[in-house]
Amino acid sequence: MPMFSRKKQPPIKSLIAQGMRIEGDVHFVEGLRIDGVVAGNIRAGAEQPSILVISETARVEGMVHADHVIVNGQVIGTVHAAELLELQPKAQIEGDVHYKALEMHQGGTIAGQLFPTSVLAEQKPPLELASSRQ
The band of 9, judged by pLDDT with boundaries at 50, 70 and 90, is confident
pLDDT tens digits, one per residue of 26-69: 999 999 999 999 999 999 998 899 999 999 999 999 999 999 99
Query: Is residue 5 over pLDDT 80?
Result: no
Query: Is residue 89 over pLDDT 60?
Result: yes
Share the mean pLDDT of the chain.
Answer: 89
The structure's pTM equals 0.83
- Model pLDDT, residue 1: 39
pLDDT tens digits, one per residue of 105-127: 999 999 999 999 975 555 555 55
Question: What is the rounded distance in angstroms from the CA atom of residue 100 to the CA atom of residue 44?
Answer: 16
What are the backbone angles phi and psi of residue 130, rounded to the nearest 5°? -60, -35
- Model pLDDT, residue 134: 52
